[in-house]
Amino acid sequence: MMNRKTFLKLLTGSAAAISLNPLAARGQGDPAPARTGLAEPPDTSNWARIRDLFPLTRERVYFNTGGLGPPSGPVLDVLREQTLDQAISGETGHGLFHRAHRTAADYLGAEEEEVCFTRNATEGNSIIAAGLDLRPDDEVIFESHAHPGGSFPWLVQQKENGIKVRIFEPDPNSPEGNLDRIFSMVNERTRVIQVSHLTAPTGILFDVAGIAREARRRGIWFHIDGAQSAGMIPVDLHRIGCDSYATSGHKWMNGPQETGILYIARERMAEVACSHAGAYSLSDYKLPDRMTYVPTTQRHEYGTRDAAPVAGLETAILLQNRIGRERIARHGKSLVDRTRSTLREIDGLEILTPDHPEMYNSIISFRLEGLVSDDIARMLTGDYHLRCRNVTERGLNAIRISWHVYNSEDDLELLASAVRSIQKQSRS
């Protein structure tokens, strides 16, 4: 529901201008550019103030940003207001995509022409898997811990087009170990390497710049599934040097649900065919046989889209910039460090997340000897009101804790005491 303040702001703001100006309403264009929601900059001076920006319930502690990162108040305001603007004007709002591309590209260390908005990371991963020109028996390598959103697009290519999927077990101990494991699998049929920038089950951070360097040297396409990195750690794609990168907006960036960004390096853009095309994909065409793609990654944004989530995602980016992206990453990492040293004291508890300083950030996963993670997750979430994620992938039998901007050290005390009492119960 729209609150009165937002409604009054709309009456005096751009929405009113649209409804009172019949010529503007009849024009080709979009409604006035969306507000960013940060016109009055929020107080981000400390973590308690930042927590106040999120309507996220205080009746339980939220440790599941790796699953979904709920939006802040400013993001919700923009989402509502942009939706209303579109309803009032009868325009799509598509014009604001241009500005949002710039904001997203700056945020990811890329050029505006190299990014487009998707609905989630899965869609970005799928565009790459379906769009590259792969032949039967061509090989794709990715890690065994890949999320279904990263692995299924390739499994489909394997089933439908005869490519071959090869997987490696991630090495939790050293970045060089992962380079060895990946490149020892490479042969003359290897066309693509993909890794999760940071893996979903146990939060392993890969040396993506090292992998990119070696993949480029060998002429192998390198795609990063960045669902767990953008918003958790600063990401600079040009510095990394990958060919493509896909992320979700609705995890660590705290954008609206059903948002994502896909990056394809300018010089490799032509190698990814459009699996879907429509309005906005082509710069020129003449039926029946002439067409030219738009010269940007935005050829993969086809047809009518909802501009409101894109405006919301842009606001989420601006909010992160305001808080400070290094600061967010440091906050998450230091809470993981404290979690590690606290949980380590618990007898029979095993931490699965690497402790190599360059191989983790804001996720920590652990398991408890003699206990099934389904039961622990049910108890933590149901009885102790600590929303965590059960990790069943690859038989890991673990619990995943995500530390983000709305978490604090107080949450750690609650977690540690809940884990101790679950263990005590199980032993009595």
Ligand X SMILES: Cc1ncc(COP(=O)(O)O)c(C=O)c1O
- Contact call for residue 204 and ligand X (CB under 6 A): no
- Contact call for residue 36 and ligand X (CB under 6 A): no
Q: Stretches 69-77, 142-150, 207-215, 234-242: which one binds ligand X (CB under 6 A)?
A: 142-150
Handedness of CA 6, 12, 14, 18 (dihedral sign): positive
- Contact call for residue 121 and ligand X (CB under 6 A): yes
Query: How many Å apart are CA 50 and CA 342, to the nearest integer?
Result: 25
Task: Rank residues 260 and 332 by Cβ distance to ligand X and give the closer one.
Answer: 260
Task: Rank residues 86 and 248 by Cβ distance to ligand X and give the closer one.
Answer: 248
Give every CB contact of residue 398 below 8 A, 6+ residues apart in sequence: 201, 202, 352, 365, 366, 367, 373, 391
Taking a C-beta distance cutoff of 8 angstroms, is the pair 245, 237 a contact? yes
- Contact call for residue 15 and ligand X (CB under 6 A): no
Task: Rank residues 134 and 198 by Cβ distance to ligand X and give the closer one.
Answer: 198
Q: Stretches 147-155, 237-245, 289-297, 304-312: which one binds ligand X (CB under 6 A)?
A: 147-155
Among 149, 153, 175, 255, binds ligand X (CB under 6 A): 149
Taking a C-beta distance cutoff of 8 angstroms, is the pair 302, 294 a contact? no
CB of 125 to ligand X, least distance (A): 7
Residues 259-288 that bind ligand X (CB under 6 A): 260
Among 14, 72, 122, 339, binds ligand X (CB under 6 A): 122
Report the relative pairing of strands 139-143 and 190-196 from DSSP bridges.
parallel
- Contact call for residue 157 and ligand X (CB under 6 A): no
- Contact call for residue 35 and ligand X (CB under 6 A): no
CB of 71 to ligand X, least distance (A): 14
Query: How many Å apart are CA 121 and CA 257, to the nearest integer?
Result: 12
- Contact call for residue 402 and ligand X (CB under 6 A): no
| Per-position DSSP letters for 30-79, written without gaps between them | PSSPPP-S-SS----SSHHHHHHT----SSSEE--TTT--PPPHHHHHHH
Q: Stretches 84-92, 96-104, 118-126, 273-281: which one binds ligand X (CB under 6 A)?
A: 118-126
Q: Stretches 4-12, 78-86, 145-153, 232-240: which one binds ligand X (CB under 6 A)?
A: 145-153
Query: How many Å apart are CA 343 and CA 423, to the nearest integer?
Result: 12
Query: How many Å apart are CA 204 and CA 359, to the nearest integer?
Result: 6
Nearest to 265 by CA among 108, 424, 386, 54: 108
- Contact call for residue 254 and ligand X (CB under 6 A): no
CB of 320 to ligand X, least distance (A): 17
Q: At what angle do helices 208-217 and 175-183 cross, to 10 degrees?
A: 30
- Contact call for residue 228 and ligand X (CB under 6 A): yes
Among 139, 143, 225, 393, binds ligand X (CB under 6 A): 225
Query: How many Å apart are CA 301 and CA 276, to the nearest integer?
Result: 8
Taking a C-beta distance cutoff of 8 angstroms, is the pair 236, 108 a contact? yes
Tokens linked to 367: 């398991």
Task: Rank residues 140 and 349 by Cβ distance to ligand X and give the closer one.
Answer: 140
- Contact call for residue 244 and ligand X (CB under 6 A): no
CB of 200 to ligand X, least distance (A): 3
Give how far Cα 110 sits from Cα of 113, 223, 245, 322, Å.
8, 15, 11, 19
Task: Rank residues 74 and 203 by Cβ distance to ligand X and give the closer one.
Answer: 203
Q: Total residues at the site for ligand X (CB under 6 A)? A: 14
- Contact call for residue 227 and ligand X (CB under 6 A): yes
Query: How many Å apart are CA 272 and CA 268, to the nearest integer?
Result: 8
CB of 201 to ligand X, least distance (A): 9
Alpha helices in 90-161 (DSSP H): 96-108, 121-131, 148-161
- Contact call for residue 365 and ligand X (CB under 6 A): no
Taking a C-beta distance cutoff of 8 angstroms, is the pair 64, 389 a contact? yes
Task: Rank residues 64 and 86 by Cβ distance to ligand X and give the closer one.
Answer: 64
- Contact call for residue 111 and ligand X (CB under 6 A): no
CB of 329 to ligand X, least distance (A): 17
Nearest to 170 by CA among 132, 131, 211, 134: 211
> Which residues of this chain interact with ligand X, rule CB under 6 A?
67, 120-122, 147, 149-150, 196, 200, 225, 227-228, 248, 260
